[in-house]
Amino acid sequence: MSKTQLFDLDGKIAFVSGASRGIGEAIAKLLAQQGAHVIVSSRKIEGCQHVADAIIADGGKATAIACHIGEMEQISGVFARIREEFGRLDILVNNAATNPQFCNVLDTDLGAFQKTVDVNIRGYFFMSVEAGKLMREHGGGSIINVASINGVSPGVFQGIYSVTKAAVINMTKVFAKECAQFGIRCNALLPGLTDTKFASALVSNEKILNTALQQIPLKRVAAPSEMAGTVLYLASDASSYTTGVALNVDGGFLS
Ligand SMILES: NC(=O)c1ccc[n+]([C@@H]2O[C@H](COP(=O)([O-])OP(=O)(O)OC[C@H]3O[C@@H](n4cnc5c(N)ncnc54)[C@H](OP(=O)(O)O)[C@@H]3O)[C@@H](O)[C@H]2O)c1
């Protein structure tokens, strides 16, 4: 009996935003382990190069490319480069997001609002548009949006961030419905509390952490690597009939 090939990504080109650390790094490494050539991206090239070098040292294929997904011209630039260097894209993981202000919603400042919307909504949207056009030319692909449990149940003092994550869940359904005809699937991952720099203010504060753990049936915070398996499923043929879904990976928080 031979092992399943359903999770193989040999020959695939994958782009992972926010891949220099945290959840994105874990995703990039797992996709590369399964055979994909991974474009490791974030704003700062040094961190991306570090992750790409680690993938290559491990026998995988990776290229580091900087891209600030809140800047429209950087999105156009990165896709021009992908077309030139790779000619195709099979998997897009929209993972990089921002959450610049923790405050009561009534204290939201316009700058933080604009930055959050520009990165978390406009960035995900136009990365998907550019990737979708390239995928359409080659018969399809898979887009995975890293949203959040906050998109369903807003986090305290995370108002506009939670609003953008709800938008990402809806965006996932929009792309799923309109791009299915081009062979493109689009799904979302909703991580729960995960031990990364992004969540360090919550995880390193014992009082906040204990309150959070009371609401998580598995009674622990996730490791970044625990998010990557779901992305591999959504990126691979194992999920070939799955599109438009939002998968909670949250230790039972939303159940
Ligand atoms: N950690 C959690 O508890 C948690 C829970 C739910 C959802 N999430 C979601 O999971 C995703 C990843 O979060 P994480 O916890 O892994 O965060 P993280 O460890 O802080 O990593 C964030 C990554 O995004 C990059 N980045 C930030 N702003 C960017 C921008 N404008 N353009 C391009 N890259 C950018 C960062 O690198 P540079 O600084 O080089 O740009 C870094 O690679 C986010 O969508 C977040 O909303 C996280």
What tens digit of pLDDT does each residue of 43-60 get? 999 999 999 999 999 999
Q: Domains of the chain, with CATH numbers?
A: 13-196+224-248 (3.40.50.720)
- Strand 141-146 and strand 184-191: the pairing is parallel
**What's the Cα-to-Cα distance from 177 to each of 6, 147, 173, 208, rounded to whole Å?**
24, 18, 6, 39
161 is catalytic: yes
| Alpha-carbon gap, residue 208 to 229, rounded angstroms | 28
- Which residues lie below 8 Å from residue 89, measured CB to CB, with a gap of 6+? 13, 14, 15, 82, 131, 134, 135, 141
| 124, 161, 233, 241: the active-site residue | 161
pLDDT value of position 75: 98
Helical residues (DSSP H) of 34-109, grouped into ranges: 45-57, 72-85
The closest residue, in CA terms, to atom 2 on ligand 1 is: 194
Q: Which of 42-56, 109-123, 149-163, 194-208 has the lowest mean pLDDT?
A: 194-208
Q: How far does residue 44's CA lie from ligand 1's centre (Å)?
A: 12
Q: Dig out the tokens for 106 from the structure.
A: 């009534």
pLDDT value of position 188: 99
- Strand 61-66 and strand 184-191: the pairing is unpaired
Chain segment 78-91, per-residue pLDDT in tens: 999 999 999 999 99
The closest residue, in CA terms, to atom 36 on ligand 1 is: 18
- Which mutation among 29, 40, 95, 117 tests ligand 1's pocket best, with the greatest number of atoms within 8 A of CB? 95
The amino acid sitting at 138 is: H
Q: Dig out the tokens for 144 from the structure.
A: 């995975």
Tell me: pLDDT of 201 over 90.
no
* Average pLDDT rounded to a whole number, residues 127-149: 98
Mean of the per-residue pLDDT values for the chain?
97
Tell me: pLDDT of 184 over 90.
yes
* Average pLDDT rounded to a whole number, residues 179-189: 98
* Average pLDDT rounded to a whole number, residues 238-249: 98
* Average pLDDT rounded to a whole number, residues 135-145: 98
- Which mutation among 196, 208, 226, 247 tests ligand 1's pocket best, with the greatest number of atoms within 8 A of CB? 196
pLDDT value of position 164: 98
**What's the Cα-to-Cα distance from 127 to each of 44, 79, 115, 219, 246, rounded to whole Å?**
18, 9, 16, 35, 19
Q: What is the pTM of this model?
A: 0.98
* Residues 75-110 as b or e (16 or more Cβ within 10 Å = b): beebbeebeeeeeebbbbbbbbbbbebeeeeeeeee
Q: How far does residue 87's CA lie from ligand 1's centre (Å)?
A: 27
Q: How far does residue 96's CA lie from ligand 1's centre (Å)?
A: 4
Of 29, 28, 33, 26, nearest to 9 by C-alpha is 33
Query: Per-residue confidence at 202, pLDDT binned at 50, 70, 90?
Result: confident
pLDDT value of position 116: 98
Residues with CB under 6 A from ligand 1: 17-24, 42-44, 47, 68-70, 95-98, 119, 146, 148, 191, 193-194, 196-199
* Average pLDDT rounded to a whole number, residues 119-143: 98
Q: How far does residue 42's CA lie from ligand 1's centre (Å)?
A: 9
Percentage of the residues of the chain whose pLDDT score is greater than 70: 100
The closest residue, in CA terms, to atom 34 on ligand 1 is: 42
